[in-house]
Structure 1
Amino acid sequence: MPRASLAGNALTVIIAIMSFLASLTVGAVGVVREAASSWQGQVLREVTIQIASAEGRDMKAAVNKAVEIARSTPGIANAVPYTDADIMRLLEPWLGKNIALDELPAPRLIVVRIEEGKTPDFNALSTRLARDVPGASLDDHRAWLEKLRITGNALSGFGLAILLLVLFATALSVLFATRSAVSGNRDVVEVLHVVGARDGYIARAFGRRFLGLGLRGGLIGGGLAVLLFAFADWSSGAAGQPGSEALLGRIDMSLAGYGAILLVGIFIAVLTTVTSRLTVMAHLRRLD
C-alpha cells in the first residue's frame, strides 16, 4: 500500500474512529466504577436509625436514648439526630413549607457515623435499639449497596461487550483493507513469492506499513478521547458548574484511567498489525 494513498488515509480515519469509541468505552467504564466505589465508601461510613412516630410516644426521649446507645457502641464515631428543621427541609419538596410536624406521623432520623477503619457490630446495635427504644430500627444500607454493586457490574459488563464489538469491527476493517492492499500489489507479491522470498518477509513488509497506520489512527482516537475526558473533568469541577447535581457527580478521571485510554490506542495498533500479518500469510499459503 503506497504511503500516501486514499485507501491508507481512509483506513487511518476508520482506525481513529474505532480507537476513539473504544477509548470512550474504557473511560466511561472507569468513571462508572470510580463513582460506584466512591458511593459505596460514603454509604459504608454512615448508617441510619429511624424511630417511628406513634401516639403517646415521647419522641424526644426516644431520640436521646437511641443517640446514647449508638454513641456507646464500639466503632461508632458519632450519632447526630435530624432536627425538626432538617426533617422539614426533607419533606418540603413534597409537602411544601410551614409543615406541622406534630400533626404528621413523620419518623425521626439519626445519622450514625462510623470510625475510619472500624466495623461496628450492627446486629448488637440493632438488638439494643429494638429492646430499649420502642419503634427504633437500624438501616445499614445493605440492600442499597447490593443494588449498587449489581448495577456497577452490569454497566461494566455492557461496556466490555461494546469494547469487544469495536475491536472486532476494527479487525474486520483491517482485514478487508489488507486484502485490498494485497490485491493492488498482486504482481509484486507474486514475483517476490516466485523468486523465493519467505512468507514472513512479505508479511512483515505489510505489517510494518499497517503498524504505522494503526499507531497513527490509534493515537489520534485515544488522544481525542483523553482531551474529551479532560474537558469533562474540568467542566464538571469548574466554579459555578452543577457537577454535584449530575448523575455521577464530578467526572474525576485518574492518571491510571488516562493511561488505560492510551493503552487502548496502542493495543489497536498491535491488533492492526497482527490482523494484517495473518491476512497476508493466509493469502500466501493459497499461492502455494
Structure 2
Amino acid sequence: MSEAPIASKAEPTGAQPRRAPLKVRATAPIVPSTNVSGNALMLVIAIMAFLACLTLGAVSMVHATAQSWQSQISREITIQIKPDENLDMEKALADARDLALTFDGTTEGNIVDKEATARLLEPWLGEGLDLDELPVPRLVIITIDEQNPPDFAAMRSALAKAIPQAYLDDHRTWVDRLVAMARTTALIGTGVLVLVFSAMVLTVVFATRGTLSGNRHIVEVLHFVGAEASFVASEFQKHFLKISLKGAGAGGLLAALCFAAAGFWQSRSLATPESDQATALFGTFTIGYMGYVGIAAIMIVIALLTTLTARFTIMRTIYEIDQIRSDPARIDTHQN
C-alpha cells in the first residue's frame, strides 16, 4: 500500500497561488537617436557658435581698446617747446609746466627728460642720441580733469606770450579721429556679427528641417496611433535641445578658451616685439566678464533657436499630414 506524499508545509485553504514578480522593461525613446542623426547638426551648431562668439569677443575687445585709447588721450595735453639758441630749455620747460598748472582743470605736470625723449626717438634714429646736437623739441605732459577741462584757448594764448617757442596740443583732433574710428570699427564689427549670426540662423534652420524631413515616417506613425501634435513636438523638441546645447556649448567653450589662451600668451610674453606690436594694434586680448556673458548668451540663443525651429517644423509636418488625410485626392498623390 503506497503512501501519499506528505506536503512539507501546509497551504491555507483558499490561498492564491504565488506569481512571479513582473519585470518592467525600460521604454525606448520615442525619437531614437539612431534614426535622427544629430552628429552633423551638432557639428554645424558648434562651428557657427564658435564663429559668432569669436566675432562678439573681437568686437568687445576692439571697442574696449578704442575706449581706453580715447580715455588716455583725453586726460592729457602736451606742451611742445622748440629749441632756440637764446632759449634756456630746462627753464622754459619748468616755466611752461608751472604756467599750465595755474589753470583750473589741470592736476599734474611732468617734464619728459632727455633720456625719455631719446627712447622715444630710438625706433627712428637709433641708440646713443645726443639731443644737444639735434634740434629736437622737448615735451611737457599735463594731466587734466576730464570732467572739468581747462580753457585751452586761454592757456594757449598765455603760453604764446610767455614762451614764444611753446605750442599747446590738446589732442582734440586725435580724439575726434579716434572716436570716429571707434564708432566705425564697432559698426563694422556689429555688421560682421549680424552676418555671422544670420548665417548661423539659416544653417540651423535648414539643418534641422533636413534632419526632420528624413524622419517623417516617425512623425506619421506616432500621429496615426493617436499621439497628439504637442506630445510629438515635445519629444522632438527635447531631442534637438540636447543636440543644440552640446553643439553651442562646445563652440562657445572653444571660443572662450581661445581668448583665454591669447590673454595668457600676451601676459607671458610682455616686453617682446611680438607682444608689443599686438598690444599696439589690438590692445590686450581680454574680453572681460561681459564678453564671457555675451558668449553664454549666444549659446543660450542658439539652443533656443534650434529648439523652436524643431517644434515649428514638427507642428508644420503634422499639419501637412492632417491635410493629406482629410483630402482623398492628396492621399493618392502622396502614395504615388
* TMscore range, shorter length: 0.7 to 0.9
Residue 36 of structure 1: aligned partner: 66
Larger Rg: 2
Q: Secondary structure in 2 aligned to 1:120? A: coil
Residue 251 of structure 1: aligned partner: 285
- Structure 1 distance, partners of 2:315, 2:226, is 15
Residue 248 of structure 2: aligned partner: 218
**Per-residue deviation, 1:80:** 1.8
- Structure 2 distance, partners of 1:82, 1:284, is 77
- Structure 1 distance, partners of 2:276, 2:163, is 36
Residue 168 of structure 1: aligned partner: 198
Contact 1:51–1:137 (CA under 8 A) maintained in structure 2:
yes
Q: What amino acid does structure 2 have at the position aligned with 1:88?
A: A
Q: Deviations over 1:34-92 (max 9, x none)?
A: 22222222222211111233454443443232112112122222222222333233223
Q: What amino acid does structure 2 have at the position aligned with 1:146?
A: D
Across the two proteins, how many residue pairs are aligned to each other? 288
Residue 214 of structure 2: aligned partner: 184
Q: What amino acid does structure 1 have at the position aligned with 2:282?
A: L
Contact 1:76–1:114 (CA under 8 A) maintained in structure 2:
yes
Q: Does 1:158 pair with 2:157?
A: no
Percent of counterpart pairs with the same letter? Answer: 42
- Structure 2 distance, partners of 1:68, 1:240, is 36
TM-score by length of 1: 0.86
Q: What amino acid does structure 1 have at the position aligned with 2:187?
A: G
Contact 2:48–2:200 (CA under 8 A) maintained in structure 1:
yes
* Residue among 111, 134, 141 paired with 1:81: 111
Contact 2:76–2:144 (CA under 8 A) maintained in structure 1:
yes
Q: Does 1:132 pair with 2:198?
A: no
Residue 279 of structure 1: aligned partner: 313
**Per-residue deviation, 1:101:** 3.3
Structure 2: runs of 5+ lacking an equivalent: 1-30, 324-336
**Per-residue deviation, 1:182:** 3.1
Structure 1: runs of 5+ lacking an equivalent: none
CA-based RMSD of the aligned residues comes to 2.7
Contact 1:30–1:257 (CA under 8 A) maintained in structure 2:
yes
- Structure 2 distance, partners of 1:152, 1:100, is 39
More off after superposition, 210-219 vs 87-96: 87-96
Q: Secondary structure in 1 aligned to 2:38? A: helix
Residue 227 of structure 1: aligned partner: 257
